[in-house]
Structures are given as C-alpha cells and as structure tokens.
Structure 1
Amino acid sequence: MPLIMDVAVPIGSYYLFKDAFGMSTLMALGLSSVVPAVRTVWGVVEARTINAFAALILFVNVVGLLLSFVAGDPRLMLAKDSGVSSAIGIGILVSVAMGKPMMTAGMKPWLVKGAADREAAWSRLQSASPAFRRAERVFSVVWGVVLLVECVVRVVGAYTLPVDTMVWLGSVVLAVAMVIGFMVSGALAAGPMAHMLIAEVKAQGAEKRPVALAAAG
C-alpha cells in the first residue's frame, strides 16, 4: 500500500493527466504532486517523521516543474529528461548517508511476502546482523549509482549523438539501466538477504520446536 500511494498513484496520475486528459506537462506535474505533498506534510505533522518515498516523488516533481520551463534547444530538451533519474538517484544516496536506505521500502515486501515469521525474522536481523544491514544499504546504493550513471549516459548522448538517435536511444538506455539495477542489486543484496531471512526463520523454528514438544509432553 505505501508503494501504491507514494509511487504508483503520483506517477500514474501524471501520465493520466498528461496523456489521457491532454493537460500540459506543467499542470500534470502540479496535480500529480498533491498526494505526495499531502503525505509528506502529514508524516511530518502527525508522526514527526519524513515519508521518504513521498518526499522523493515530490522532489522529483518539483525538478520536473523547473525543467519544464526549459525549451528551445532540442538537445537540452533531451538532456533534461535525465533530470528525473538524477533526482531519484541523489535522493536514494542521501537516504543511505542518513542511515535510512530508501529502497528498503520497495524491496522488503518482495522478501517478506506478507509472512509473519519472515517479518519477525527481518526485524531480528535488522537489529542484530551487521551483514544484513550492510546488504540493505548496498541495495539502495546500487540503485542510486545506476540511476546517476544512466543520467550521465543520456546527457552525454544528448550532446554527442544525432537528436533523432537519442529520441529512441534514451528509452533503451533507461531500460538497460533498470535490468542492470535488478541484476546487480539482486546478486549483491536482495539475494543474500533472502538467504539470511530463510536461515533465520528456520533457526527460530528449530528453537521453538523443543519448547512445543515439552509443552505437549
């Protein structure tokens, strides 16, 4: 649900307003910023915490609003498309530096799978295992670096390759970056974390089994 509210709703509403309703980029970005803005302010006022994903999407939309005023040079128009990737990448790396890796919110549901024993195992590992916390940080770092590199590649391409080539190549670069991000983050972080979770669940089950047998006896 947090991913739906903080990421899917604002991004989906942007494309809905822009493509389906024919609104301008400026208007679509402004309207799609309402939900993340409300959730960010609500988190600060009510919980005294910053909703990382909502704040990031809001930041990205603000960057998009500022970049929407850039017009004229076709190469500059192509280069500005990478501004979103760089904003997200910087936001992710800052969250790691602050000790709250942002990408954990996106990764955790896939590893925990809604199981209570895995949720408990996650909490134990997060508090007691340096290796687990290190892998958690690595996952976010990989995505932050991948998005920043993708941004640099697209900016360089915008000013060194023909405009017609970069119109389609920009999407290819983004797709390749996503594949690399999934593969590298999975190998270096998500995979090892999944193994640690499974091992922790089994270990906890082994500890509870003698207690249950004793109680039954």
Structure 2
Amino acid sequence: MTVTAPGETRQTIVAVLVDVVLPLACYYALRAFDVSETTALVVSGLPPALRVAATFARTRRLDAMGLFVVLLVLLNLGTAAITGDARLLLVRGGWLSLLVAGWLLGSLVLGGRPVTYLACRSLLPGKAGHLDHLWETRASFRRIWRLLTVLWGGATLLGCALNIVAAYTLPVDVVPALDTGWHIGSFVVLQIVTQILLRGEGTLGELWHSPKPSHPTDQPT
C-alpha cells in the first residue's frame, strides 16, 4: 500500500527477513529438534518483537506497526499459557487480519482519508505537502487511493478466511509455510498493482521525476 522511496529498499529487505523469513525458519528449525508445536510458534514470533525493541532503543519511538507486533507477541504468550492450543495460536493471525481489514475498509466510511493514503504519507514525510496538495486538488488521485484501500482490505479479508480454514483443516506444521507464502505473494502482487495504478494516474512521475501539470478539470469530492 506504499510508494517505495529509493532509500527505503534496504530497510524493507531487513524488515522482510526479520519479520517473515526468520520466524518461519525458526519455527521449522525448532520442530526439527522435536520442540512442541505450541512452543515453536511462540518462539518464532519473537524475532519481529526483538527488531521493534532494537528500533525503539535506537530512536525512542514506537510506531503503530511496532505496537501491533508487541501486542501480537503478548497475545501469543497469553494464548499459549492459558490454552496450550497450537491451532488457536495459528488462527489468531486470521482474527488479527480481520481487524486490519475492518480498519482499512472502515477508513473509507469513517475517516476523511483512507488508511492506505495515510500510510504512504507517513512513510514519505518529505513528500507529505505534495501528497496533501494532490489529495485536495485531484479527484483521480483520491479515487486511486480509495480503490487501493478496497484492494488491500479485500485481500486482507481473504487472507483471514484462508488462515482460519487452514488452521483447522490442515496439519499444524503445514500452516506457517502456507500462511507466510500467502502473505508474501499477496503483498508482492498488491505492491505491483499499487505501483501500476499510481504510475498510470501520474503520481509516481510527480513524486520522483519531473512534475506533471495538474488536472484543472478535477474538483474535490
């Protein structure tokens, strides 16, 4: 749901490795040593939390995503301590996806600006003024971000359904890889769609290259 700035590629790669690849590798490594499914799921959720802690120690700031990761780890620990049910640990990702989907789609009705646009704006603070100008003056720009919010929210909702079905119908050891594959695949596809739509609308050209003329016929809606 973002426009990737040239300097952010390295940070994105590190985040993907720590938040996606390392937890999956950790889970299957622990299972290879006969660690229980529940313990492996809890421990494999720690690398993203450690990254958040390191970022907080360096910057003294905890953003919404960092807080979300910490709450997820606490939820894992609580679920494991109370129930010890590995399938319940697996399905909690689906319920959290449902909350995220509701947040995304709800922002189209309850918020002045959709979450996808606000996320892009927060990741590009140097372009915030220009983005706000486009939002205020260009109807096509607003339509694109609303469409992107529907796409990201719908994909998140579908991921929620797939996670819940898989958690209760497939072997526990299959679900982490399947869930990770879905998240990576859907994220890549949605990012490509996002870039294509924004490039077609002209936003990417204005942000990173020479400015394009504004659209005088578009009026705020």
Quickly name the TM-score band, shorter chain normalised. Answer: 0.5 to 0.7
**Counterpart secondary structure, 1:82:** helix
CA deviation digits over 1:97-142, x for unaligned, max 9?
Answer: 31232222554599x8x6x8xx776444311222211212222332
Q: CA deviation at 1:169?
A: 1.6
If you compute each CA radius of gyration, which structure gives the higher value, 1 or 2?
1
Q: Report the TM-score, using the length of structure 1 for normalisation.
A: 0.57
Q: CA deviation at 1:32?
A: 3.7
Alignment of 1:44-59 (within 5 A): 54-55=63-64, 57-59=66-68
1:101 aligns with 2:114: yes
- Structure 2 unaligned spans of 5+: 27-41, 215-221
54, 74, 77: which one aligns with 1:68: 77
Report percent identity of matched pairs. Answer: 25
- Structure 1 unaligned spans of 5+: 41-53, 205-217
**Alignment match, 1:203:** 213
Count of matched residue pairs: 181
Change (3 A) 1:69 1:10: farther
160, 180, 196: which one aligns with 1:171: 180
Q: CA deviation at 1:93?
A: 2.8
1:146 aligns with 2:155: yes
Q: Report the TM-score, using the length of structure 2 for normalisation.
A: 0.56
Q: Distance in 2 between matches of 1:186 and 1:175?
A: 17
Superposition CA RMSD, Å = 4.7
**Counterpart secondary structure, 1:202:** coil
Q: Could you tell which deviates more after superposition, 148-157 or 164-173?
A: 164-173
104, 108, 122: which one aligns with 1:92: 104
Larger relative contact order (CA 8 Å, sep ≥ 6): 2
Q: Distance in 2 between matches of 1:109 and 1:190?
A: 17
